[in-house]
Amino acid sequence: MLPQAINVALGLWLTAAPAVLGFGPPAAHSHHIAGPLAASWACIALWEATRSVRHVNVPLGLWLVAAPGLLDHSLAGAINSVVCGIAIAGCSLLGGTVRQRFGGGWAALWHGNAA
Amino acid sequence: MIDAQAGDATPPGWSYNPSDWSQRLPIIALAALGAAIAGYLSLFQLQWLADVWEPFFGDGSRRILTSWVSQLTHPVPDAALGAFTYLLDAVTGAIGGRRRWKTMPWMVILFGLAVGPLGVVSVVLVILQPVLFDAWCTLCLASGVISVLMIGPAMDEVLAGLQHVRREVRTGRSLWRTFWGLNNDATASD
């Protein structure tokens, strides 16, 4: 749960970063799109039954790492994008502890036997 | 969350019952709060209120709530559609007892269909605020946060409902009758 909570915080920070660090488009657009998406996916992944949604944030983190090479970024914007991207992708790979049982989960709907 | 008294209310293979009131009441409360916020914003969009509360972003709320995106659903204010969907979340979250994942799968699935797309639309609208209009609307952001918060806790019940339908169909029961909760052993409600 903690890695997903960190990603919620990072997503919110990305959303605020263009105003705080003072940079405009296109870097700001990249931040303003990736931030709410990362925070939302991580927020859904906070709950154990939907923890697997965390994987969606891996490509999103990789985008943030690549974006300064593809779009015009200020130095601060570029550093922020790469650092947050690495952190988001890394946290997305950590599933954490799942204590509850869900009758085989979502996988039981399309293969195997539901309990 | 583990309820020793749950008996057959807990879905097979589950450690808790996602249809328990302790699971559903927080979501219903969030939906009611979302409906109140979106209802207030739609009053401004309908021009029944001359002003809108905006503590942080200057004329941000006014710009967002009168933008062309907010007019796409004209003559209905987009906030009113949001308020309606929040109410649908609350009502479909409240109807049915602790075994509703099997007594009325259709209600659980309708609940999920109301919660999921509301969250998706809200996040898209949040992104459009800075990208298209270079403005933020505080209460719109609050509504977006609420709609995303509801998704995770709502989806476990949808999963239990879908697992039940699949399990019944695999044992040869009718998909139609299972979906509407018409199988004989599943009709008792509590």
Distance from the Cα of B16 to chain A's closest Cα (Å) equals 7
Residues in chain B: 190
DSSP bridge pairs for A102: B14
Neighbours of B3 (CB within 10 A): 14
CA distances (Å), B13 to each of B2, B96, B136, B160, B162, in order? 12, 22, 45, 10, 14
Instruction: Say what percent of chain A tops pLDDT 70.
Output: 97
Would residue A72 count as lying in a domain? yes
Would residue B38 count as lying in a domain? yes
Total CB pairs under 8 A between chain A and B: 83
- pLDDT tens for each residue of B144-179: 999 999 999 999 999 999 999 999 999 999 999 999
- pLDDT tens for each residue of A21-60: 999 999 999 999 999 999 999 999 999 999 999 999 999 9
Would residue B4 count as lying in a domain? no
Would residue A115 count as lying in a domain? no
- pLDDT the model gives residue B162: 96
Would residue A76 count as lying in a domain? yes
Q: Look up the pTM and report it.
A: 0.91
Range of the domain at B57: 18-186
Range of the domain at A29: 2-110
- Complex ipTM > 0.85: yes
Would residue B53 count as lying in a domain? yes
Would residue B92 count as lying in a domain? yes
The domain that holds B99 is classified in CATH as 1.20.1440.130
Would residue A38 count as lying in a domain? yes
Would residue B12 count as lying in a domain? no
If one counts the domains in chain B, the total is: 1
Burial status of residue A20 (CB atoms within 10 A of its CB: 0-12, 13-18, 19 or more) = exposed
Evaluate the omega torsion of the peptide bond into residue B75 and state whether it is cis, within 30 degrees of 0.
yes
Q: Which residues of chain B neighbour A28 with C-beta distances below 8 Å?
A: 130
If one counts the domains in chain A, the total is: 1
Find the helix packing angle between B78-94 and B138-170, rounded to 10°: 40
Is pLDDT of A20 > 80?
yes
Q: Which residues contact B25 (CB under 8 A, 6 or more apart)?
A: none
- pLDDT tens for each residue of A81-97: 999 999 999 999 998 88
Instruction: Output the tens digit of pLDDT for each of chain B's 190 residues.
Output: 444 444 579 999 999 999 999 999 999 999 999 999 999 999 999 999 999 999 999 999 999 999 999 989 888 999 999 999 999 999 999 999 999 999 999 999 999 999 999 999 999 999 999 999 999 999 999 999 999 999 999 999 999 999 999 999 999 999 999 999 998 654 444 4
Neighbours of B12 (CB within 10 A): 14
**Contact between residue B90 and residue B82 where contact means Cβ atoms under 8 Å apart:** no
Distance from the Cα of B168 to chain A's closest Cα (Å) equals 10
Q: A interface mutation test: which of B102, B118, B131 has the most A CBs within 10 A?
A: B131
